[in-house]
Structure 1
Amino acid sequence: MIKILLVEDEIFMRKGIIKLIDWESLGFEIAYEAGNGQEALDILKSKKVDIIITDIKMPVMDGIELIKRVSENFENKPAIIIISGYNEFEFAKAAIKYGVNDYLLKPIDENELIQTLERIKMRISSEKEDYKKKELFEYVRRNSAFMKVLEVQNDDYLVNSSENGIKKYLGISKQEAFQYEDDLTVYEKLMETEKSINANYLAKGVEIKCYWDSYFNLIFLINTFQGYKKNIVIRQAFEEIRRLLNLQTIIIQEYVSNQKIYMLYKQLLKKFNFAQFYEKSGVIEASEIGEFEHYLEDKKLSKELIKLIEEKLFDDVKIKLSRFFDECQNNKVSPEVIKGYILFAVLEVIDYFELYQLFETDNIKFIFRADIQKTKFISKVMEILDQIISCIEQNLKFNGSSFMKKIELFIKENYNKDLTIKSIAQQFFINPIYLGRMFKKHFNMPFNKYLHFVRIENAKRLLLTTDKKIYEIAKEVGYSDPDYFSLKFEEYVGKSPSKFRNSISVNNG
């Protein structure tokens, strides 16, 4: 709503103007009224208005003097509309040099007033948009300059925390949704948050600046200027920031003397990641978290998981995993260490059961996301373990001679095609490595050797029962290269295909 200050010494004239049009429906509000220029100036000292509508002839201070004072003393002065009588026209023209936007002749015409207000509203809207763009540009430039300080690790950026009695605080947080929003939208939200906090807390001696780094971390710098109990006010300010930006956690710390800003930033970021991973919420002082472990004793988690899976105690797998994380939290183990340890354990389980196709799963990549929390982390690890369990259970169904009979029949019906152990495994929905192991155990030879054996036996049959040429038989049994066929035939039979055919003919003759 555009706020208007109406300045008119005649009370009935003032009330008549207020009732002349429906101000609210047009987007305006007669927010303040004054009987002369001096009253108007007093209001302007403490209140923000967008438009002044003023008479010229008034007691104490007339409209011309009011316009002059506003022009001289207010940087962002309101738009001004003069209410003028015919005999005051020369005064009205004189006021134009002070930036008067328009004037209306008494008695005021309703349509003329509306048209004048609409013109001013369009100008105010345009000026506000331009000012907002300029303000946003300056904010982005300030943010970039500060990020360069962190990147180049400028030691001179931060003065002593105790200088001039000023206390300084740093806060770090993250809003996951921001990484999916347009950058300017995020900057605008941070700028508005900064304005809101400073509007509420500057009078209490607290000033804040909000920043955003390239990893979507939010950084808050707070200065305090007064000596009374600041901790309460600081926490209130950070709680307000948390509410405005919908943040779960903010980690804060007061600067110590001569502390380097980039070092404090890195320390707080590690503590924030720790708090975020373990799903702590609220405004938390860094000292509450303290130091955490950067290593993890080998607790043989992978061996314990393998044992539970082999014993088919699948429900106990998640219980074991949850207890492991609880122990890590109690011992304050760094999330980065946990992620590396868990990845190693999962890969050991995959390797033990030879389920290498799971290595490329998106879940394995997901567990290394910087902003993942413990609950989601456990859930994703369990998805991988569930896949392992599913593969094992599926393979158990195929573990038997009846299943291998099906495999044998399939090979004998399709031996002349481009068969591989992988293509057969896909056909029967089984892990290829597991199938290869089962195949060798059942047939007492590897798959490739068995396939050659089947093809050569069928080639022998065709050599004896048909007059087909050697290259035709080679192609018919699955060999595209006749020379390679002859080589494998001699390897398995002890003589070439032609000699085999001739020797059988001679014996029969």
Structure 2
Amino acid sequence: MAMYKVVLADDELMALEGLRLMADWEEEGFEICGMCENGEEALSRILDCRPDLVITDIRMPGMDGLELISRVREAGVCDPLFVILSGYGDFDYARTALRHGVRSYLLKPVMEPEWEATLAKVQRELNERSLRKQQQSRMNELLLSAAIAGSLRGESLEAADKEAAALDRIDEQTPGWRYIHLEGVTEADMQWCRSLELPAGTWFIELYANQAGLASADPDQAGPLARRIHAGLRSRGSRRPVTVGPQVRSWRELAASYAGAADTALRFFFHTDLDGPVDYAQSIPPSFSYDLGSFGIADELMAHVECLREEEAGERMRRLFDRFREERTAPEVVYMVGINLVLRSLEALREMGDSSDLGRDFIALVRSEPKSLHALEESLHAFLLQVMRRIRDHREQDSRHPLTQIERYLQQHFREPLTVKELGEQFFIHPVYLGQAFIKKNGISLLEYVHDLRIEEAKKRLGESEETIRLIAEETGYQHYHHFLKEFEKRTGMKPAAYRQLQQSKG
């Protein structure tokens, strides 16, 4: 805890020594920074050491205590509390002293109880004053930080004209500014940064929900401070990148330093093993590829996922991300490919009646800052493995379901006369429930499903054989030729003869 400074002034040496011995000053939290025998000496010492408390005799040669107080007030260099000592019970002196803001007026000889009460009163006032100064200083720092943050966000500074003027005055005393960028910071990271004791002329900037930084009016200190922040985050287990933007002349140009630091942070996408902060001045600007050819590999990967070929899917995943690394694919293209795979996988699950939210972790990673290519690869691979497990589980459950058994039966017996009633009796399911459940599962009625199977078979035979159309109709399950023609044209948009001619022209 900082000690309060006190100056003692009395033209009588014995009285001055008595003041020194009146209290255990250090124990009481005071440091004597001057013992003066006259007003001139006291004034010089006060202006030099700027004490918190002055205890002075009221009558001294050359300059008395009241003039000393007046001269200190006029100088405006400091604002100490004054305690007056006097051997005169003069009420005029007392009134004048009070007008000068003197806290206590003590008559010599000072009695111990009175002295202790006065010193306790002075201590309370100094403590309250110190607390107010700290609070005001903290408030000023927060207002300056808010003004800088507003400037970086492009907000108007009309409401912060006092803070802007204060920062302009700092501009006059510094060779420039630099911005230290922290991307993807968590609330815990933010809290840790807020607790740091920062060098003078440095402000912690809370820019957005997951972006923060430090604005430094001492460019030479930006590098060491960035290394300190980087080491602190690493010791907390955080892999957030710390980057330093280029030097700018004024705080009003800090947006350029911030932009440079943010661009430098893009290096983290391909390099997660950075052993220190990255300085814009030493960083090669990243260049990215925006080629969309990787979507072809993603299509192959998705096909293997749907067919539950884990080994092949893993190989395509490695090929996909190796291509990203080799071509230095732009992060936004990588996100597009990844999100496309997630959405297609979730759609495949939804078609099985699975409203899974498996993709939330990957989507959250894409939305977070920062993210690395390695982290995206691990997250996407884990997601696709989960998708394949879900698909496998659904298919195993589905294979034992009565409706699946009925579908397999229809695929083998669609050429035979079939009715919902007969199928219900065969599989011990009420016909009404069977019809409703089949539509819910497949989106079409059971009889429409049978017609689809029959027409697909007819199309195949029309394209591969010279059999008559009537024979094909009969052998695919249609007892009435006109019924076959109606269902065929309904599904293909053309008559069977035209379809055969089209297929033969292709062959």
What TM-score comes out, normalization by structure 2 length?
A: 0.59
1:236 to 224, 228, 231: 224
2-structure distance, mates of 1:48, 1:122:
17
RMSD between superposed Cα atoms in Å: 5.3
8 Å CA contact 2:245–2:279 kept in 1: the answer is: yes
Unaligned runs of 5+ in 2: 10-14, 158-163, 235-239, 437-444, 451-507
Q: CA deviation at 1:344?
A: 2.2
How many residues are treated as equivalent by the alignment?
A: 402
2-structure distance, mates of 1:111, 1:451:
109
Q: What is the letter of the counterpart of residue 369 of structure 1?
A: R
1-structure distance, mates of 2:322, 2:64:
76
What TM-score comes out, normalization by structure 1 length?
A: 0.59
2-structure distance, mates of 1:272, 1:145:
21
Q: 1:122 to 1:276 in 2, by over 3 A?
A: farther
- Once the two structures are aligned, what percentage of the paired residues are identical? 16
1-structure distance, mates of 2:51, 2:420:
93
Q: How does 1:333-372 map to 2 (within 5 A)?
A: 333-348=329-344, 357-358=355-356, 361-372=359-370
SS at match of 2:335: helix
2:483 aligns with none
| 2:264 is aligned with 1:271 | yes
1:197 aligns with 200
1:120 aligns with 125
8 Å CA contact 1:38–1:60 kept in 2: the answer is: yes
Q: How does 1:87-486 map to 2 (within 5 A)?
A: 91-105=93-107, 106-109=110-113, 111-113=116-118, 115-117=120-122, 119-121=124-126, 123-124=128-129, 127-128=132-133, 131-132=136-137, 135=140, 138-139=143-144, 142-143=147-148, 145-147=150-152, 149=154, 166-174=175-183, 176-178=185-187, 193=198, 196-198=199-201, 208=202, 211-222=205-216, 233-239=221-227, 248-255=241-248, 265-266=258-259, 268-275=261-268, 278-279=271-272, 280=274, 282-286=276-280, 287-296=282-291, 298-299=293-294, 300-302=296-298, 303-304=300-301, 307=304, 310-313=308-311, 317=314, 325=321, 328=324, 331-348=327-344, 357-358=355-356, 361-374=359-372, 376-395=375-394, 397-398=396-397, 404=400, 407-408=401-402, 440-444=407-411, 452-453=420-421, 457=425
2:69 to 61, 64, 67: 67
2-structure distance, mates of 1:342, 1:396:
25
SS at match of 1:18: coil
2-structure distance, mates of 1:377, 1:489:
44
1:205 aligns with none
Q: CA deviation at 1:135?
A: 1.9
Q: CA deviation at 1:337?
A: 2.6
2-structure distance, mates of 1:301, 1:350:
19
Q: CA deviation at 1:378?
A: 3.8
1-structure distance, mates of 2:326, 2:58:
76
Q: 1:236 to 1:133 in 2, by over 3 A?
A: closer
Unaligned runs of 5+ in 1: 24-28, 199-207, 225-229, 412-435, 462-472, 480-487, 493-509
Q: 1:240 to 1:388 in 2, by over 3 A?
A: closer
Question: Which range moved further: 166-175 or 383-392?
Answer: 166-175
